[in-house]
Structure 1
């Protein structure tokens, strides 16, 4: 369930109440007249099934409540109520499949911010991966993949393309390009230092690497895996199944490819530099394509479901009819 807390201008409260009452899956409606001070207005609260949340939030935005008042929505960890159980039963679809578009935009906006922390994580991940490719150590490669934060900007680009948010697209693209450029430049310097310390060598990089040689040899499977990872990652964001993101992170070779390109560049190995760069770009492109297609499919699916998410005003008993 989602818990909505609204600040509504007094002259719009009746409209908001009617909207909530007409939304299948909404319950626990509370109106506190004049309770809000900044901005001034009435406080309206309700709970709504997650699968009906997007329709209600969109309706509130059409009424301009996000401009004239305020809209706050939180996930409720536990709700013990027969009305809540009935609301979730009446709402069309399943909560795990629901997409809260505004929440997705806000989340990807935060995850795609070009910050010192973001660049630091990406640079550290790339350096760990550099150690992995030189040592041909799969454990280090997997660890580097898990540390890398690059899926945030990739999800931001996909979301921006579907939702037509040019600012989010430019912000995400900037984080992606600058982040990888800085991380790879720092990894080149890191490789030079490791070579001076006798820990890296051209012979290790160019030797037989059965565990990590794939990072500079892109093929059709690279794109297929990127597509599948993009679908899984997008679904994990829209359904709040964030645990799946770890699996997504360690299934694509973005960070290892960037690391291998940086180390190869430090040693002047043009073949591996170009091959790794192609692997990196192929994975990035595949994830974005998969993310866009997944979001478009979800958008179409829930547009049809949303048409079923309306009902007439509640009866005097306050009960809801069974969903068709």
Structure 2
């Protein structure tokens, strides 16, 4: 429910009153004595779905933007006529649950802080995320998402496109570009400082840290996170519910991979930054694409009905453009996913081959103690470089025929030659 407060311009009192009477809307009219160009202030309660059509009708009647219009939440309205009005507008579809176009625009504006605050919070969030990745701590990484101010620009671009607010669109686009650059740059600088001051062990292999490695070689499932975040963000803002948790979800799609890209750059491994940078870009684009589609599906249109055709074409072009770019990135992520699948398949088959060989009568006295696949550094399409086996035997030595057999059997499942390192451990009989 909403309470609308509207200043009545000179000569428009009767028009406004007639409009409200025709719609059977209760109102309170008070005279204005401030010697301005307004003769009165009118207050009237509305169900949330009625705000947009009523304000549009009043604007068509000559109430322009020079008049003050304030829309606030109303906790309770007790009125028989109001209940009839609610039954008229609240019909159970998606447009009944959403806020008005005017409120949506104001909400999108309010979610984006000033540039200084946005830049500072983005840098802090990236630094905290970088520290969390080094610590291999999911809790710290989640904390970095909470302070990231990314939801405003991410949703503002979609809102600006659909309601024909090009200023909001350009403002949000600029903020998103700056946010990506700041996040990756801040992470790279902080990671370089960490490396130079030996805060982390010298020679740290970043691919050995789970929180980092999983973002250096992202898979196709990451796309679902971004699309879900975009849809959830728009639904949250459009229904007037809290967007704080959704903001964390959007930040989850952007801040950690940006921090991983910065770490890879600081470690002098630009190829390792390709996957995480691509993940940042595809997530940003996917959030915007999902937001555009969701807003249009929810029924948001430009203020000027005559411009719907033009705006619809513009939105369609942006949707198609975003969809094509997201599809290209999706193919790239799909290739990484297939590479990861191939690695997992190789590991499973190689282990199976080792166990099969050791189960043969000829080598029955030997047993597999440890099995490890060492990956190469060819990010984002990593592959097996070496297989390390720890095998126990009666004398602690591995016969050459067993080593040759294992090498041959393991390499049957590899596209490129894989080294096989065998460590022997003597087993004592009891």
CA contact (8 A) 1:6 1:44 kept: yes
Corresponding residue of 1:226: 226
What is the CA–CA distance in structure 2 between the aligned matches of 1:261 and 1:100, rounded to whole Å? 40
What is the CA–CA distance in structure 2 between the aligned matches of 1:287 and 1:74, rounded to whole Å? 29
Corresponding residue of 2:63: 65
Corresponding residue of 2:215: 215
Q: Does 1:148 align with 2:138?
A: no
- Secondary structure at the aligned position of 1:38 is classed as coil
Q: 1:172 to 1:63 in 2, by over 3 A?
A: same
Q: Which runs of 5+ in 1 are unaligned?
A: 304-324
- Secondary structure at the aligned position of 2:25 is classed as strand
What is the CA–CA distance in structure 2 between the aligned matches of 1:36 and 1:42, rounded to whole Å? 10
* Structure 1 position 262, deviation (Å): 1.2
* Structure 1 position 174, deviation (Å): 1.1
Counterpart pick for 1:29 among 13, 27, 30: 27
- Give TM-score, length-normalised by structure 1: 0.83
CA contact (8 A) 1:229 1:287 kept: yes
Corresponding residue of 2:168: 168
Q: 1:64 to 1:130 in 2, by over 3 A?
A: farther
* Structure 1 position 29, deviation (Å): 0.6
Corresponding residue of 2:45: 47
Q: 1:202 to 1:28 in 2, by over 3 A?
A: farther
Q: 1:157 to 1:33 in 2, by over 3 A?
A: same
CA contact (8 A) 1:222 1:279 kept: yes
Greater mean alpha carbon deviation, residues 109-118 or residues 289-298? 109-118
Instruction: Give CA-to-partner distance per residue, 1:130-177, whole Å, 9 cap, x none.
Output: 012222211111111222111210101111121222211111111111
What is the CA–CA distance in structure 2 between the aligned matches of 1:202 and 1:165, rounded to whole Å? 51
* Structure 1 position 46, deviation (Å): 0.5
Greater mean alpha carbon deviation, residues 219-228 or residues 168-177? 219-228
Corresponding residue of 1:137: 137
Bigger RCO (CA 8 Å, 6+ sep): 1
* Structure 1 position 201, deviation (Å): 5.2
CA contact (8 A) 1:134 1:204 kept: no
CA contact (8 A) 1:133 1:205 kept: no
* Structure 1 position 34, deviation (Å): 4.0
Corresponding residue of 1:318: none
Greater mean alpha carbon deviation, residues 279-288 or residues 248-257? 248-257
- Secondary structure at the aligned position of 2:240 is classed as coil
* Structure 1 position 80, deviation (Å): 4.0
Instruction: Give CA-to-partner distance per residue, 1:84-138, whole Å, 9 cap, x none.
Output: 4443233233587123112211222233355111111111111111012222211
What is the CA–CA distance in structure 1 between the aligned matches of 2:167 and 2:202, rounded to whole Å? 43
* Structure 1 position 219, deviation (Å): 2.6
- Secondary structure at the aligned position of 1:32 is classed as strand
RMSD of the alignment, in Å?
Answer: 2.5
* Structure 1 position 37, deviation (Å): 3.8
What is the CA–CA distance in structure 1 between the aligned matches of 2:33 and 2:80, rounded to whole Å? 28
What is the CA–CA distance in structure 1 between the aligned matches of 2:275 and 2:213, rounded to whole Å? 10
Q: How many residues align?
A: 299
- Secondary structure at the aligned position of 1:11 is classed as coil
What is the CA–CA distance in structure 1 between the aligned matches of 2:191 and 2:262, rounded to whole Å? 8
- Secondary structure at the aligned position of 2:65 is classed as helix
Instruction: Give CA-to-partner distance per residue, 1:283-306, whole Å, 9 cap, x none.
Output: 1011001000000001179x9xxx
Corresponding residue of 1:249: 248
Instruction: Give CA-to-partner distance per residue, 1:59-85, whole Å, 9 cap, x none.
Output: 222234233422111111333444444
